[in-house]
Structure 1
Amino acid sequence: MSPNCLPLFPLGTVLFPGGVLPLRIFEPRYLDLIRDCSRQGSGFGVCLILEGREVGEPAVPAALGCEARIIDFSTTGDGLLGITVEGARRFHVERTKVRDNGLIVADVRWLDEAPPTRLGPEHELLATLLQRLFDRAGSPHDKIEKSRFADADWIGWRLAEWLPLAVTERQHLLQVDSPQARLQYLIERLPDFQPE
């Protein structure tokens, strides 16, 4: 498989760079996908489903997704294969084809990531909010290095995961290239999350 060819796993959720996502695997096409990724040490693409469902016929995936790298395997309580993935690079789907087993494979263009950017004073409230969310969540979130809370990109991705946003908003934030623009969107949404 070429470095720009990526098998896709369409889901009803959005994976962000640096994010962690547990998955239950039971469909044969995805069991094969996980086996192949494990053997090759490669990842697969997670894209939000635009039309269709996670199970059954191939779904229509969003054109922008995030590479998933397997970081853990387990067996779920119901005896299925469980994996945990971590989000890596973002990509844009250029073309897709569906294999005989229903697996969607895409030619992708990897997106350039923004260089490391320090959190600006206008967005420091977001770092404070994220620290409080992590402190409440407890281990392992309360053990994160304090230096991470000065990284604009990391703050934006983590808040996009933790705030009660609609899945369409999460997809929008995944598509935003600028960490500052992502943070500005989030800070403007904060009043909507205040209890009345």
Structure 2
Amino acid sequence: MIAAVLDIPIFPLGTVLFPGSLLPLRIFEQRYVDMTKACLGNDSVFGVCLILDGREAGEPAVPHAVGCTARIVDWDVPAPGLFTLRTRGERVFRIHEREVQRDGLIRARVTLRPPPPPAPVDDAYAGLTQLYERIVEHLGAQVFPQPAQPHDGTWLSYRLADLLDLPLAGKQRLLETEDPRAVQALLWNLLRAQATPGGAA
């Protein structure tokens, strides 16, 4: 399969977006207001990357090289110059070249990673399925994006990582990991580290 190459705007944030995850955003800086208008007008995506250095507002932050495309699925303008967005993660990408425009918006040439094929939850990490079932039992299935695919190990790992309070560095490693079994193993180790006093991710 030939990898798709895109030129997209990059939104560095203090969060990690996974494919299939829902991310609400409040857009008020002019560079991102303009980005939002362009994405709505063209039905195009933008890239969300965890900040490597810098802050969300003000001077352009340095993004991690691996991020996830976001598509706007719902939006509102509660006040002039302010957008509230509901976005969904779609595809993992890697930045190859990036530049900062005069208005402070980062644009990058990225390669999209092929979507992973469905992969069953490995028997060694059946505890992930049990954790998912306990969450659904106590909080309801609506806490996870639908349609639910709990038998797909990658979907399950992304949804648990999204919901649980895990270190951002660990979430970033999950996003960067391509092998479905390795994704499950990494999440399992992150959870074990948190459950162990003094454990490190």
Normalized against structure 1, the TM-score is what?
Answer: 0.89
Q: Point out the more displaced range, 154-163 or 34-43.
A: 154-163
In structure 2, how many angstroms separate the alpha carbons of the residues matched to 1:164 and 1:52? 22
Alignment pair present for 1:173 and 2:174: yes
- TM-score normalized by structure 2? 0.87
Secondary structure of residue in 2 paired with 1:30: helix
Pairwise CA distance, 1:130: 1.5
Quote how far apart the aligned CAs of 1:195 are. 8.5
- 2: CA distance, partners of 1:144 / 1:41: 22
Which residue does the alignment assign to 1:16? Answer: 18
1:155 corresponds in structure 2 to 156
Letter paired with 2:22: V
Q: How does 1:111-150 map to 2 (within 5 A)?
A: 111-138=113-140, 140-141=142-143, 148-150=149-151
Structure 2 distance, partners of 1:102, 1:27, is 10
Which runs of 5 or more structure 2 residues have no equivalent in the other structure? Answer: none
Structure 1 residue 4, shift from structure 2 partner: 1.1
Q: Any stretches of 5+ residues in structure 1 without a counterpart?
A: none
Distance 1:11 1:18 in 2: 17
How many residues align? The count is: 194
Which residue number corresponds to residue 49 of structure 2? 47
Whole-Å separation in 1 of the counterparts to 2:82 and 2:49: 22
Amino acid corresponding to residue 171 of structure 1 in structure 2: Q
> RMSD of the TM alignment (CA)?
2.4
Contact 1:117/1:151 (<8 A) preserved: yes
CA displacement 1:149-172 (0-9 Å, x = unmatched): 111110111111122211111111
